[in-house]
Amino acid sequence: MECAICYEKFYTPKTHKELKKMYKQNVKNNNFDDIMKFKNLLVTANHNETHVCSTPNCKCVICGDC
């Protein structure tokens, strides 16, 4: 699954261990911009910053940055 505007892939970890691994791979030096980008692309059961298009049957998903 990816953003319909920027085409960045969403992070969908299944376990806490996967989440940590994805975080380490994508956030360098705890840079604020990298953290926010990671947060806006993260999709879990408890966290979802995405927006779904309101047009019926469109099903486009947009990340929190876009």
pTM of the model: 0.78
- Count how many Cα atoms sit within 13 Å of the Cα of residue 4 in the half-sphere of its side chain: 9
How far is the C-alpha of 2 from the C-alpha of 53, rounded, in Å? 14
Side chain identity, residue 58: C
DSSP class per residue in the chain: -B-TTT-PBPB--SSHHHHHHHHHHH--TT-HHHHHHHHHHBB-SS-B--EE--STT---EE-S--
Q: What is the pLDDT of residues 16-59, one digit of tens each?
A: 999 999 999 999 888 899 999 999 999 888 888 888 888 888 88
